[in-house]
């Protein structure tokens, strides 16, 4: 996602929901409530953002809702069992839209909305509209589910390249605006869909157990600049050099495709693999893999706990480590994650790929 100058076509049900109050039914906007150049597109938008308790994102091929938690600054994704929403995604769907500023008016003709990618995505498949002609709808809702604001965003090809367009529901006016706006509507893209981002330099020990084929590896090193060396293996052997490097970085980047609460995930019984990573700063991260419901996937659980000693010469900030443990605990504990098998190569590798005969 990046900064755009954007064209917004705006419409508002009830004629005055976003751009001013009115006495009766729908009316054409007058000069007093039309956005002005340089002004924010939605007057009072930041106040509306503070009142919003949920955000609905609707695209031509999907719909997602973000809900604000009780603390007010934490959001969740109901369709992902209430998993925590990524703050960047929340910010784009709230403050990003609130910060949109008008550059100039573009059109008031509904028949030109398709050219700007501004057809209502809720009507995709019900009427005219080729791929790219339907936009993305962003709706802010209060705690009663009443609409506070509604904007449709779209793309079009301008003289200077791809531009962004939008309109407020109920109005035909289109505007060129500047701002940073959300562009995705799938649920998984509203969370930080990375199981781990664990730098290899933090890993001091790795222990692998695979009951299915009897593989067990216990590898250690005294300093982050040293290679991992196996101190015990089953069957007896020596850890291949490339395998040691792969084990170090095994949790460096693991994305996930789906997340569920533990009671809804197929993670009962004996795991296919258990991997324990001891970190130099004083923590143990434990990964367990279970067979997936889909070919090529695995379900994973991951947890973190403090070691007897937190911190050390290279990690002199024990409070920072405790904060890290707390954040990761909230992210991992109580959840199961569907992970693509291709991202788990070292954990699923054949024994011969990991070990060689000892001399």
Question: What distance in Å separates the CA atoms of residue 271 and residue 94, rounded to the nearest whole number?
Answer: 41
Whole-model pTM? Answer: 0.80
pLDDT tens profile 259-276? 999 999 999 899 999 999
Q: What is the pLDDT of residue 322?
A: 80
DSSP class of 119: B
User: Can you tell me whether residue 125 is helix, strand or coil?
Assistant: coil
d(CA 182, CA 8): 13
Per-residue model confidence (pLDDT) at position 316:
56
Q: Answer for the pair 334, 258: CB distance below 8 angstroms, yes or no.
A: no
pLDDT tens profile 55-64: 999 988 889 9
pLDDT given at position 17 = 32
What pLDDT was estimated at residue 220? 94
- Six-digit token pair at 43? 């007057």
Give the pLDDT confidence score for residue 81 in this predicted structure: 96
Predicted pLDDT at 68? 96
Dihedrals phi, psi of 60, to nearest 5 degrees: -60, -25
Nearest C-alpha neighbor of 302 from the set 280, 277, 320: 277
Rounded to whole angstroms, the Cα distance separating 310 from 279 reads: 10
Residues of the chain falling short of pLDDT 70: 1-34, 125-131, 161, 182-183, 308-317, 359
Taking phi over 0 as left and psi of -120 to 50 as alpha, with beta for the rest, 139 belongs to beta
pLDDT of 1: 40
């Amino acid at each position: 996602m990046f900064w755009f100058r954007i064209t917004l076509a705006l419409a508002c049900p009830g004629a005055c929901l976003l751009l001013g109050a009115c006495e009766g039914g729908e009316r054409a906007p007058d000069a007093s409530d039309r956005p002005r150049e340089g002004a924010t597109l939605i007057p009072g938008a930041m106040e509306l953002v503070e009142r919003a308790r949920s955000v609905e994102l609707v695209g031509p091929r999907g719909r997602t809702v973000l809900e604000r938690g009780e603390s007010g600054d934490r959001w969740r994704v109901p369709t992902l069992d209430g998993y925590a929403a990524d703050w960047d995604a929340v910010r784009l769907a709230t403050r990003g839209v609130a910060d949109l500023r008008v550059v100039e008016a573009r059109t008031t003709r509904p028949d030109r909305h398709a050219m700007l990618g501004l057809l209502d995505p809720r009507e995709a498949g019900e009427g005219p509209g080729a791929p790219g002609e339907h936009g993305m709808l962003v709706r802010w809702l209060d705690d009663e589910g009443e609409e506070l604001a509604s904007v449709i965003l779209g793309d079009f090809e301008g003289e200077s390249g791809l531009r962004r367009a939008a309109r407020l529901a109920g109005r035909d006016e289109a505007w060129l605006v500047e701002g940073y706006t959300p562009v995705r509507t799938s649920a998984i893209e509203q969370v930080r869909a990375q199981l781990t981002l664990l730098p290899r330099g933090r890993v001091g020990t790795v222990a692998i157990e695979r009951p299915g084929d009897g593989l067990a590896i216990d590898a250690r090193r005294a300093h982050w600049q040293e290679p991992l060396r196996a101190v015990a293996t089953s069957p007896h052997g020596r850890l291949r050099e490339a395998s040691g490097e792969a084990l170090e970085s095994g949790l460096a980047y693991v994305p996930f495709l789906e997340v569920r609460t533990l009671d809804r995930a197929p993670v009962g019984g004996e795991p296919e693999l258990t991997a324990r990573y001891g970190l130099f700063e004083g923590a143990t991260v434990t990964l367990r893999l279970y067979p997936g419901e889909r070919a090529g996937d695995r379900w994973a659980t991951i947890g973190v706990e403090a070691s007897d000693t937190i911190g050390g010469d290279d990690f002199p900030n024990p409070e920072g480590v405790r904060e890290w443990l707390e954040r990761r605990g909230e992210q991992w504990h109580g959840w199961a994650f569907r992970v693509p098998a291709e991202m788990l190569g070292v954990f699923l590798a054949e024994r011969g790929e990991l070990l060689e005969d000892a001399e």
